[in-house]
Amino acid sequence: MTYERFEGLPVWKAATDLAGKIFSLTEAGQFKGKYSLRDQIERAALSVSNNSAEGFERGTTQELLTFLYIARGSAGEVRSMLIFIESLPGFADLKSQISNLRSLAESVSRQLRAWADSPQNSDIKGQRYVNERERKLRQEQKEQAEFLDMLKSYTRKGP
């Protein structure tokens, strides 16, 4: 499936969900007085969706990959901080919430990795390099594939 806007990407949606849940976590009273810890985990969580969006908008495969790996690094930073927070005295009652957030951050990281695999193994340089001739060729290939799919569906159904 091809996405026209980053807002439609499932991984971007999951990353914004992660950020929202991290912001909810840091509203807990245990974070009172721990401003730098709170700020760092919130910024890292928000970085995941922001870097995914920025990479999507850049227009080259190499820039996309760079930002996907930055986003993935931020997801790892969130997990690392959650592990640290879990070990702090006074955070025991948030253990279940922290565990769920770690799982979500890990899921987002896996999704980012899967997304990176596709362009990484492609010859396409990116949207910025696609000229009119290339667009026309891609459109023709798409139409041919759709036509062949339609023919296959007719042959399966029979007369």
pLDDT digits (tens, 9 = 90+) for 103-144: 999 999 999 999 888 766 655 555 655 567 776 777 888 889
Q: How many CB atoms lie within 10 A of CB 42?
A: 18
- pLDDT, position 52: 96
Looking at residue 133, what is its pLDDT?
A: 74
Neighbours of 156 (CB within 10 A): 7
Match 């459109």 to its residue by tokens.
Answer: 139
Query: How far is 155 from 89, CA to CA, in rounded Å?
Result: 67
What tens-digit pLDDT sequence spans the chain (159 residues)?
677 889 999 999 999 999 999 999 999 999 999 999 999 999 999 999 999 999 999 878 889 999 999 999 999 999 999 999 999 989 999 999 999 999 999 999 999 999 888 766 655 555 655 567 776 777 888 889 888 888 888 877 665
Q: What Rg value do the Cα atoms of the chain yield, rounded? A: 21
Confidence at residue 139, expressed as pLDDT on a 0 to 100 scale: 80
**Tokens 């996907």, residue located:** 68
- What residues contact 53, with CB distance under 8 A and at least 6 apart? 6, 12
Residue type, 66: T
Tokens of residue 80, six digits: 């690392």
Q: How far is CA 48 from the centre of its chain?
A: 7
